[in-house]
Amino acid sequence: MACLVSRSGRELQRYNNKGGRQVVGCIPYRYKEDMDGNMSNELEVLVVSSQKCQTLMFPKGGWELDETLEEAASRESLEEAGVIGIVEHTLGQWNFISKRHGIYYEGYMFPLFVKEQLDLWPEKNLRLRIWMTVAQAREACHHWWMKEALDILVKRLRSPQQWKDISIN
C-alpha cells in the first residue's frame, strides 16, 4: 500500500555547500503495448504539471537526509506521478540556477521503469500526468537539464546491450 500523503517541509532537506537545494527526479518510462497487449519497442515517458503553473516536467523534488538518492527518486515519482517501478542507474547530475532564489541547485536524474500506475496518489489533485512520446516530452518539458537527462536515457535504451538485457528478462 502506497502512502497517500506527500512529505512536506524543509526540515530534512539537503543543501549543497553554497546553500542550494539538492533535488532528485525520475524519468518514468514504459514501452507501449501493441493491439495484442505485447510490449512494443515504442518508448513512452511520463511528465507531470508543476504545482504552481501548468508547465510540464518530470517528477522531482528535494533529496532528504533520511533517504538515498534512489529512495528520493522513487518517492518523488510516487508522490507527484503516482507510479511505482524500478529505479535504474543514474542519468547524471546537473547544476542549474533556481529562478526563485537565484542560486545554483544540484539536480540528479534517474530512469524509472514503470511497473505500476496508481489510480490514487498523493498529488493527484494538484498535478496532471501525461504519457508522451520522447519527442513530445522533449518539446513540452520546461527544464533544459531534464531534456538533457531524457537524451541520455534514450541513447542508453537504444544501445544494443540494453535491448539484449531487456530480452533476457
| The three grid cell numbers given for residue 61, joined into one nine-digit string | 523534488
51: exposed, middle or buried (Cβ count in 10 Å: 0-12, 13-18, 19+): exposed
Across the chain, what does the average pLDDT equal?
88
**Euclidean distance between CA atoms 75 and 73, whole angstroms:** 5
Tell me the per-residue pLDDT of 31-86, one tens digit each, with 9 for 90 and over.
Answer: 988 878 788 888 999 999 998 888 999 999 999 999 999 999 999 999 999 999 99
SS3 146: helix
Domains, the chain: 22-159 (3.90.79.10)
Give the H or E element holding residue 163: helix 160-168
Res. 6: pLDDT tops 70: no
Tell me the per-residue pLDDT of 91-150, one tens digit each, with 9 for 90 and over.
Answer: 999 999 887 777 889 999 999 999 999 999 999 999 999 999 999 999 999 899 999 999
Which pLDDT score, from 0 to 100, does residue 164 have?
A: 44
**Euclidean distance between CA atoms 31 and 45, whole angstroms:** 9
Instruction: Give residue 133's identity as a one-letter amino acid code.
Output: T
**Euclidean distance between CA atoms 69 and 163, whole angstroms:** 26
Band (pLDDT 50/70/90 cuts) for residue 3 is low
Instruction: Give residue 119's identity as a one-letter amino acid code.
Output: D
Q: How far is CA 48 from CA 20, 58, 145, 165, 166, in A?
A: 23, 6, 16, 29, 26
